[in-house]
Amino acid sequence: MDIICMIGQVINYDFSDEFKDEFLRSGVKLIIDENDQHPINKEQSQESTHYWMQKYISLLEDYAALLQTINSSSQQVVRSIEPTDK
C-alpha cells in the first residue's frame, strides 16, 4: 500500500478510487484541508502545485540574476587589480 501511495504522489494521482478497500484497511487517510474538513480535490491540488511551481521558478530567476550581478562585480574587481602593460 505504501508503494501505491508513493507512486500516486509522484505522478499526482489519487488511487483511492481504484483501491478503496485496501485504503480503508490500511488506515491511509485522504488529504484534508484543516479549514473545512473536506477532502482536497484534484483541481485544488493542481492549483497549489502550479502556485508553488511558479514561486520556485521566480526564486530561480532571482537567484540567477543575483549570481550574474555578483559575477559581473567580481570581474570588475579583477580588472581593477590586474596590472596594466605600459
DSSP state of 13: -
Q: Which three cell numbers stand for residue 52?
A: 508553488
The whole-number pLDDT of residue 36 equals: 47
CA dist list (Å): 8 to 5, 14, 63, 64: 5, 6, 32, 33
> What does the pLDDT read at residue 21?
77
SS3 (DSSP) at 39: strand
- 42 touches 8 (CB < 8 A): no
Name 13's Cβ contacts closer than 8 Å, sequence gap at least 6.
7
**12 and 45 in contact (C-beta within 8 Å)?**
yes
Q: pLDDT tens for the chain, 86 residues: list them.
A: 677 777 888 888 877 778 777 777 776 655 544 454 445 566 777 788 888 899 999 999 999 999 999 988 887 777 777 766 65
